[in-house]
Chain A
Amino acid sequence: MTKMPGKFSRIAIANRGEVAVRIIKACEELGIETVLLHSEADINSRAYRMATKTICIGPAPTAESYLSIPANVNGALAAGAQAIHPGFGFLSENADFAEAVEKAGMTFIGPSAESIRSLGDKVHCKELAKKAGLPLVPGYQGENQEVAHLIQQAEKIGYPVIVKAAAGGGGRGMKLITNSADAAELIESAQREAQSAFGSPKVFLEKYLDRAKHIEFQIFGDSSGQVIHFFDRECSVQRRHQKIIEEATSPSLTDDLRRRMGEAACAIATVGKYKGAGTVEFLLQDGEFYLLEVNTRLQVEHPVTEEVMGVDLVKMQILTAQGDFIHDPKQVRIPRGHSIECRIYAENPFMGGVPSTGLLGHVEWPEGPGRRYEYGFDQGDVITPFYDPMIAKVIVWDENRPRAIQKMIRVLKDSVVFGVHTNIPYLIEILSHKEFVMGTMTTRFIETYFAEALKEPALSETEKKIAEGALLQLRGGGASEAAMATSPWSSFWRGI
């Protein structure tokens, strides 16, 4: 019994970083005011500066701010919002949150609490999929969460086994177990990560497919309950089960597979009475596909779908929640060209990807045709250790995949981030790798080819001279001949 919410004039955003900015932009275009529900740590961010209103809902630790249901609901109520957009991560797939928002008289921008429970909980989803006849990966999804019992189940499935957070997504609370010796440690670690990231330690087990591709379908249920899909994305490039590079559409699907997987995605979403934007994830191995999970929210990689389909999924979400979005049956939906997204992480690729935090210096995202940037921080903002290391996303579109790859490499080379290290050199290496270029990569691509930390190339003589000249100029020395014999720095460059 849902009441028709009517048009929103103010929407609260229960999120941070680049996705909060993305939602604010959609609201601005629709003439809707925004309220950013933020933690104390996030006052130096673009979303904070862009939102119509801001309300601090708690200190930096996520459990006391972004993961607190009462803090978010009360903040939104106090600001007079009629709806809450949860973004992705945090409370976006939390049915209790969706329910609390509705109970407080506001609209949750996303599927119903009931849909989240049936589809979003990885365990219930599998039961539903079984009924709907979707192929599943063998595994254990029981209620017994004792470590000893889980180990027993893992042995039964046969290693390698993957342990995952039941309430999770985005790679957190997910570990690969290859032998019984590590099982206990990894299961406990997954449970802790699950608790920390999603507020529930529940995990489940799955047989690990060792040469699978990760392929997902963007689904969308309109206000009338009709579900259609907006084609597929491939996200096989993952590290520690976290996606790094995503693209639309997948270079690996035949027309027949694409049709069957799309139908399966819509089937399970329809059974789950899905409303709004969601993603049905599959693993594809040896021409067979298996349901992985359903993400009952907007996805980090939604822009690549937007680029090839010519749609705005966030605006569609808001309009659907308002009760006035119906799929246009006359609209022909065919993907056009190719789009790639790279996630920019604040980490040092030359030190095995350890997080890099600190004050952001000069930042530059150069404009050009077919380039799109989603970022949450500007020069002068601080990247803190409290949250996800993803600070931006770079998205490109071009007429075909080879050209999109070429464009992405150029764009990444032109992008400048000072103050924190980023994975940009790592991304460029991946994009240039033969297997990626051929499109044959599996979810083990990174561990196979990029297991070691990148080796930092030595500086060339020219680079050293440029650095020397730059330093002189920054210190007020003015334009200079770098190689001046009188340079106080010249001695430093010798013998490096």
Chain B
Amino acid sequence: MEVKVRIDGVDHKAQAQLMKGTLWVHVNGRTFTMDSGTGQKSRKKAGAGGSSDTVSAPMPGKVTKLLVQSGTAVKVGQAVLVMEAMKMEYTLKCEIDGTIDSISCAVGDQVALGKALVKIKPSAEK
């Protein structure tokens, strides 16, 4: 809905909507979101950052190919699995050197945003 917010005597018109705990605001040609519970700018959803020993789904989609198995030694930047969403393929890569600890998805699985897909045991030496 359209809102009018007065700041220092000046009215600012904006579009705003609360959806599932996220506040959407459009003002002055820009759209941004905020977490309405914390008042913080919406965190990047899990999966974007994720912890570096975990490869998680950066979007909802389907797992189309697993390139590693449990126990496979991997290097930074190595492709570990392929996902498909909205008709495009996305290759997910690991961020650390190590060995594959566990795989919690299978080819053909429809996975949710942020789901942990592959866990990597970091190499012993730092």
B64 contacts across to A, CB distance below 8 A: 192
B16 contacts across to A, CB distance below 8 A: 467, 470-471, 473-474
A492 contacts across to B, CB distance below 8 A: 38-40
Q: Mark B31-71, 1 if CB is under 8 A from A, else 0.
A: 11110101111001000100000000011110011000000
B123 touches A (CB below 8 Å) = no
A462 touches B (CB below 8 Å) = yes
B124 touches A (CB below 8 Å) = no
Report whether B19 and A361 are in contact in the complex, using a CB–CB cutoff of 8 Å: yes
Of the candidates B31, B36, B82, B85, which one forms a contact with A385 in the assembled complex, judged by CB atoms under 8 Å apart? B85
Q: How many A-B residue pairs have CB under 8 A?
A: 149
Q: How large is the interface on B (under 10, 10 to 19, 20 to 34, 35 or more residues)?
A: 35 or more
CA distance A477 to B58 in the complex (A): 36
A493 touches B (CB below 8 Å) = yes
CA distance A416 to B12 in the complex (A): 16
- A51 CB, min distance to chain B CBs, angstroms: 23
A438 touches B (CB below 8 Å) = no
- A281 CB, min distance to chain B CBs, angstroms: 20
Report whether B3 and A414 are in contact in the complex, using a CB–CB cutoff of 8 Å: no
Report whether A474 and B58 are in contact in the complex, using a CB–CB cutoff of 8 Å: no
A421 contacts across to B, CB distance below 8 A: 33
B60 contacts across to A, CB distance below 8 A: 355, 357, 385
A387 touches B (CB below 8 Å) = yes
CA distance A475 to B64 in the complex (A): 43
CA distance A337 to B17 in the complex (A): 38
Report whether B3 and A362 are in contact in the complex, using a CB–CB cutoff of 8 Å: no
Known: A416-B15, A463-B25. A468 touches B85 (CB 8 A): no
A333 contacts across to B, CB distance below 8 A: none
List chain B positions with a Cβ less than 8 A from chain A: 1, 3-8, 12, 14-19, 23-34, 36, 38-41, 44, 48, 58-61, 64-65, 79, 82, 84-91
List chain A positions with a Cβ less than 8 A from chain B: 62, 172, 185, 189, 192-193, 196-197, 240, 346, 350-351, 354-357, 359, 361-362, 364, 385-389, 412-414, 416-419, 421-422, 424-425, 459, 462-463, 465-471, 473-475, 479-483, 489, 492-493, 496
27 pairs, A vs B, C-beta closer than 8 Å: A62-B87, A172-B87, A192-B82, A193-B87, A351-B44, A354-B59, A354-B90, A355-B59, A362-B15, A362-B17, A385-B60, A417-B31, A418-B31, A421-B33, A424-B31, A462-B7, A466-B12, A466-B14, A469-B6, A473-B3, A473-B5, A474-B3, A474-B23, A483-B7, A483-B8, A496-B40, A496-B41
